Amino acid sequence: MSGYRLTTVETVRERGSWAFTAREGDADREVFLVPCADEPDGEATDPDRPVRAWVNRCTHEDQRLHREGVGAVTRGGSVVCPKHGSAFDACEGSCDNGEAAGTTLRSVDVEVRDGAVFLTDDDLSYLREGLSDEDDGGDEGPSSSSHLTF
């Protein structure tokens, strides 16, 4: 068993999401962790995989789903795109509504051992906690065309 220790399941649950930057080939990739829970009490639907990791980009448009200072917006077991309101299942990554309907977020392999989350994806090398230094339209977030408010 190997992998880079990222954080704890408890931290992901407390914050609602947790992000890091990794290297894939010659490019940096932003990744975020979210609890995989459908129950109101936050209990994981699959106790062996209480969190999931996703590349931090909406499948419809090159838009961050997790932002510094805000995290990922989640509702009812879904991660919501702040620009268009498409909702991605936090456990499966699939979307069945909005502009991104019929698409699935790109997953990143992680493993949970003794309450800690490890990066086990062979294609990625951990660089740092938090998002990359790239500008994503400023601190105010995306201009939204969604009918949802957060």
pLDDT digits (tens, 9 = 90+) for 72-121: 999 999 999 999 899 999 999 999 999 999 999 999 999 999 999 999 99
- The DSSP secondary structure of 73-107, one letter per residue, reads -EETTEEEPTTT--EEETTT-BB-SGGGTT-BPPE
pLDDT digits (tens, 9 = 90+) for 19-59: 999 999 999 999 999 999 655 444 555 666 799 999 999 99
- The DSSP secondary structure of 11-74, one letter per residue, reads HHHHHS-EEEEEEETTEEEEEEEEE-B-STT--BSSTT--EEEEESS-SSSS--SEETTTEE-E
Residue 149: band (very low, low, confident or very high) from pLDDT cuts 50, 70, 90: very low
Three-class secondary structure of residue 129 per DSSP: strand
Residue 145: band (very low, low, confident or very high) from pLDDT cuts 50, 70, 90: very low
Its pTM stands at: 0.84
The domains located in the chain, with CATH, are 4-128 (2.102.10.10)
Residue 69 φ/ψ region, left for φ over 0, alpha for ψ in the -120 to 50 degree band, beta for the rest = left
